[in-house]
């Protein structure tokens, strides 16, 4: 018969032998853990370049500028809508007044009102005919002097600068 062995821990025991000399091994006591060392805290050094800071500030400035421009655009659109409503109302009033004026324009009423104001019809003796000389006259001015290109460029920049100052003031 084949012998069977059983293990207890790391030692083998013969189950069929009564006089077994194998003793089960006791597990050794576990050594206490070494005290954990406190590792010194290392500070993280954050290095940010000036280019990143300036670029971020510029991007933030652009974002704020876009937001304010949208606010200003909304205000202007509201003002334009209000002015369009006023314009439509004034156009309707103009059409109504024009129609009233055209209805009230009657030649007989005009003559009657003129008589009430003391006006009289024109007499044939009051009519005078005048003849004007046959030729019409015109006055021709000399063309301005030609300026060189430097003066023209300087004047263009000066007028551009003055227009910008006038616009922003």
pLDDT tens, 112-145?
889 999 998 888 888 888 777 766 667 777 777 7
Task: Compute the distance between CA of residue 95 and CA of residue 103 in angstroms, rounded to an integer.
Answer: 12
Torsion angle in degrees (nearest 10) through CA of 99, 102, 108, 112: 80
pLDDT of residue 153: 86
DSSP letter at 108 equals H
Contact assessment for residue 66 and residue 58, using Cβ atoms and an 8 Å cutoff: no
- List of E strands, the chain: 5-8, 11-14
The whole-model pTM stands at: 0.35
pLDDT of residue 145: 77
Categorize the per-residue pLDDT at 34 as very low, low, confident or very high, splitting at 50, 70 and 90.
confident
Over residues 10-33, the pLDDT tens digits come to: 555 555 555 556 566 677 677 777
Task: Compute the distance between CA of residue 12 and CA of residue 24 in angstroms, rounded to an integer.
Answer: 8
Residue 50 CA neighbour count, 13 Å, CB half: 0
Residue 82 CA neighbour count, 13 Å, CB half: 6
């Amino acid at each position: 018969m084949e012998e069977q062995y059983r293990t207890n821990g790391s030692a083998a025991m013969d189950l069929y032998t009564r006089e077994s000399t194998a003793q089960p091994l006791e597990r050794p006591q576990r050594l206490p853990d070494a005290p954990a060392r406190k590792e010194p805290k290392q500070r993280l050094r954050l290095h940010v370049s000036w280019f990143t800071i300036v670029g971020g500030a510029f991007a933030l400035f652009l974002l704020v500028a876009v937001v304010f421009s949208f606010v200003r655009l909304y205000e202007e659109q509201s003002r334009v809508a209000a002015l369009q409503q006023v314009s439509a109302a004034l156009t309707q009033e103009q059409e109504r007044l024009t129609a009233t004026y055209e209805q009230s324009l009657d030649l007989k009423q005009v003559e009657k009102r003129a008589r009430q104001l003391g006006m009289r019809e024109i007499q044939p003796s009051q009519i005078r005919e005048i003849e004007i000389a046959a030729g019409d006259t015109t006055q021709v001015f000399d063309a301005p002097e030609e300026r060189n290109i430097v003066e023209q460029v300087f004047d263009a920049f000066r007028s551009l600068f003055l227009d910008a100052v006038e616009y922003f003031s």
